[in-house]
Structure 1
Amino acid sequence: MSDSASTDIYQAPALREWLEPLCLQGSVNLAFDAAGSAFWPVLLDDVLHPQSLVVDVTTAPALAEPLTRGDPFHLIGHVRGALVRTSALTMIQRLDDTPRIKFLCSYPEFVSTLHRRGTFRAPLRPEMGVETRLTLAADLPVIEADVRNLSLGGCLLAMRLVDAVKLAPSQAFSVLELIFPNQRYLELKGRVRHIRTDDDWTMALVGCEFDELSIDSERFLWYCVKEIEREGVRRASASDQPLEPSALFRFPQGRRPSSARSAVTADNVAAGDAGAIVRRLRKIADYLNAQSLQLQNGTVIAPSLLSRHADTLLTLGSQSRESLLYALGYLESEPAAVRHALSVAVRAADLARSQGYDNDSLKAIVASALVHDLGKASLPSSLLESRAPLSDSQRALLPGHVTQISERLAECRWLSPAIASPVIEQVNERLDGSGYPHGLRGDAIDDLGRMLAVVDVIDALTRPRADRKAWPLVDAYRHLLSQPEVFDNVWVQRYVRLFGIAPVGSLVRYASGALAWVQRLDAQGRPSQVHLVLNAHSRHGRLDRILAGQDLEQLGRLSGVVEPTDYGLSRVAA
């Protein structure tokens, strides 16, 4: 197939939709029908549907003679990336009631549109109803998205940031399905070209390149591109005689487009009082996903956004620390790295607040903790997902992510280096010198760096990883307390006293078999309010009760924290 494609348009409504833009932009070219004719710049002054056109040739007065003689000519211009050429036209009469040189000309029988196949992209909007599903590999879940534009060579997808962080430039995908309202569909293969965020940092925009297509597939794809363009013209038209919908965009009887696309707008918010906090946490999670993509594209940390989200977390923590800690459990759909960043930031601020740190310092701690691990997105996935102990060459790559974040914080002038440096650069240091990036020992590690190391490691150990299951919290405590030469025991003990052995947000089991989410703790760090959800002896009977104070006695003795997945439970369903 050639690199360009021409389409002749005869229908009156469609003709009007191509001629009016030529009139609005004014400037067009005039060429006579004779072979090798030169192009003359003129103005399309008016379109009188469907009888005639008004052409102004004042800038090229030499055209008056051949037009008066009746020589046939064409008008040529550009509309929405296509070269538009009218059928042969002739002069009807010269308009003498104007100081300019204007001619009334015949109305075109048709117009020809010429697109460059490899570069023309037809824009789509979500309301057009084209469903889009991206499958990276057969054993991976389908990613739902919106297609923003389509061409013969590729497309631009809009998707949730949480889905985009799973992608990487040059990554191949198994199939991209485009399902049109009339249920015809395209299946395309290719690879990811680039990943970025939209201007509001609320969605990811993913550019895709298609593999080489068969002749039949290429023809159908080009047909779809042209029909999308036609549908865009139809929807944008304010004419009293609109175009008929393209066959691709006619919904089967009884079926209508959804008013909300689940791919991009779904927001399963937790019920109850936690809902408002969860929604605000998800906005911060969106920011972290977007910032991670921005960093991969070479940009710096956005100072104003980081400041705003740090303020949000501080406000939520000061208003109700237990509600905030509980709401963290509703973020299971977010990437593990984002959940870790939020958890470390919230708990580090809570721990520092308990030790009397002022608000300015708390804000800097939160901000630094939020971004401390974002540089890991630049590390090889094989290193982050390794199931075997890291080799020396792999370990040598780890300091790079710390350096990257420190450098990208250059624009955050409001962020105190006295706080940011120990939080970001010392969170991975260890008292015995076994940490990175500098292998600091003992007193060379700041008190904040020691605190962050404790918070970071406890959270990391109690989350599942590629090479192991999540550790029970008590085991994580014992691990740190048993290594005073590695971790600061003072901060470990402060952590245990503040968060307890059954922290807010954890799932606990009682002697009666009752399973409940911990919502509040008493002064001794024991659960004082729980959300009862299940009896382990009768898993088919789900429960939904809030118990507090003396009512907890009916549950029996507290057995300890348990893993929700062992009982098929999730906080999303709580």
Structure 2
Amino acid sequence: MLKKIPVAELALGMYIHKICRRWTNDPFWIGLVEVMLDDVEVLKRIQQSGTREVWIETGKSRVVTPQPSAASTAPSASDDTTPASLEKEVLRARVICGRARDAVMSMFTEARMGRAMDVGNVQLLVEEISNSILRHPHALISLSRLKTSDEYTYMHSVAVCALMVALAKRMGMPDDQVREAGVAGLMHDVGKMMIAPAVLNKPGRLTRDEFEIMKAHPELGVKILMDTQPVAASVIDVCLHHHEKVDGSGYPHGLKGDQISIFARMGAVCDVYDAITSDRPYKKGWGVAHSIREMASWKGHFDEVVFQSFVKTVGIYPIGTLVRLESGRLGVVVEQGQASLLKPKVKVFMSARTGKTFAAQVIDLTCPSDPDGILRIEKPTDWGLEEVDTLWAGSPA
């Protein structure tokens, strides 16, 4: 597991993942990437350099918890994994999403220009995203869905990264595999940078020839990743095979069933979910709950066990779902129920009978003192509602 620590806590026997400082061509700093710290003179130079923080990999370190100074015992905001409310974590998640979007945009631009990508910050971004999910499992996932169509390609990668991390955690994967899943999500669509913008951003249905061009993006992505080191084999695999289907009807190789790796099967679900729930240049995104139901009906598309785990990850009624309750109230899901996927917390704000709004109130459907239940999912457009997501996310993302 990666952990950021103050340089004052750095000690011999720690495995350095990355030094937090600007890039330099100095061989001393270039050599301090993924190495065991065994030399006291190296330790002194780091401490005297003015560098404030360093990332270590705890699983490879012989020493993890040296005696810290009193000034360095408080964790930084990015490392804090203390559970937080949705409202509080959404504020942090906005910052993380913005930073991740900019990093992906920079890396993908390098790929488009034919240069090897600088992926030095990818692990750190995945760690931040993972920590956000630990603080609140739905804040960043839900927020990353609220993207504009012109930033779709970049924010889609951030969203799939978050979904992959959350799904890997749900499936009980060890920390190193959770990180790999996140990196795979972040890099899975890099090949789209080599697709002509006229095809990639076409505001209409692709022709057969254009779709064939689009279908080349997994293999184009592999070529880019092969020139970018180090990249794990699982990351390359997800890039190449996230459009495969368990019935063999996918591309590029028509793999089926267990021929598709577990990471690629996870990538397929996460990729499709974010794609169909997001606004695109050529279509409006589907509602989140409607998307889950549609995906469940696509027999032969997804691995059933992975998909079931995914539903438990995002919920049967994901955050942002507009629902009508048995009491006749209309509301938006703002929190998943701890005891039941069918009983989330809902912020009610309108009478479905009269169409009149009232002061918003959050109700817990598991609470016996206010018995109620979800009658059905509603479409915001049917009620003239354009900004339902502001009820849980605040101002538009």
Please state which band the TM-score falls in when normalised by the shorter chain: 0.5 to 0.7
Partner of residue 178, structure 2: 362
Say if 2:329 and 2:349, in contact at 8 Å, map to a contact too: no
The 1-side partners of 2:355 and 2:133 are apart by 34
Q: Does residue 375 of the first structure (1) align with residue 191 of the second (2)?
A: yes
Amino acid at match of 1:450: R
Question: Pick from 242, 246, 252: which aligns with 1:431?
Answer: 246
* RMSD of aligned alpha carbons: 3.4
1:332–1:572 Cα contact (<8 Å) kept: no
Q: Distance in 2 between matches of 1:438 and 1:277?
A: 37
Structure 2 partner of 1:449: 264
Paired residues for 1:174-253 under 5 Å: none
Q: What displacement does 1:544 show?
A: 4.1
Query: 1:386 deviation in Å?
Result: 4.5
2:5 corresponding residue in structure 1:
none
Alignment of 1:281-430 (within 5 A): 281-328=97-144, 331=147, 335-386=151-202, 389-410=205-226, 412-417=228-233, 419-430=234-245
Cα shift at 1:323: 3.3
Tell me, yes or no, if the aligned pair for 2:116 and 2:228 is still in contact at 8 Å: no
Query: SS state of the match for residue 304, structure 1?
Result: coil
Gaps in structure 1 of 5+ consecutive residues: 1-199, 201-269
Q: Aligned with 2:268: secondary structure?
A: helix
Deviation at 1:366, TM superposition (A): 0.7
* Matched residue type, 1:369: G
Higher helix share goes to which structure?
2
2:191–2:224 Cα contact (<8 Å) kept = no
Counterparts of 1:543 and 1:552, CA distance in 2:
22
Mark the CA change 1:529 to 1:400 in structure 2 (over 3 Å): closer, same or farther: same
- 1:553 and 1:383, CA in 2 relative to 1: closer, same or farther beyond 3 A? farther
**Structure 2 residue 310 is matched with structure 1 residue 514:** no
Write the deviation string for residues 213-236 of structure 1: whole angstroms up to 9, x where unpaired: xxxxxxxxxxxxxxxxxxxxxxxx
Distance 1:464 1:330 in 2: 8
Count of residue pairs the alignment pairs up: 306
Deviation of 1:475 after TM superposition, in Å, equals: 4.9
Deviation at 1:560, TM superposition (A): 3.7
Work out whether residues 187 and 235 of structure 2, in 8 Å CA contact, stay in contact via their aligned partners in 1. no
Per the alignment, do residues 343 and 514 of structure 1 end up closer, same or farther by CA in structure 2, a change over 3 Å counting?
same
**CA deviation profile, 1:333-357 (whole Å, cap 9, x unmatched):** 8722333222222122212212221
- Measured after TM superposition, the shift of residue 312 of structure 1 is 0.9
Q: Secondary structure at the match of 1:515?
A: strand
Match of 1:461 in 2: 276
SS in 2 for 1:286: helix
The partner residue of 1:567 within 376, 380, 385 is: 385
Contact 1:510 1:555 in 2 (8 A): no
User: CA separation of 1:551/1:523 partners in 2, compared to 1, >3 Å: closer, same or farther?
Assistant: closer
Partners of 2:352 and 2:107 in 1: CA distance: 42
List aligned pairs for 1:18-57, cutoff 5 A. none
Residues 414 and 536 (structure 1 numbering): CA distance in 2 closer, same or farther, change over 3 Å?
Answer: farther
Distance in 2 (alpha carbons) for counterparts of 1:279 and 1:285: 10
The answer on whether the counterparts of 1:430 and 1:439 sit within 8 Å (CA) in structure 2 is: yes
Cα distance in 2 between the residues matched to 1:483 and 1:276: 35
Q: TM-score, normalised by structure 1?
A: 0.47
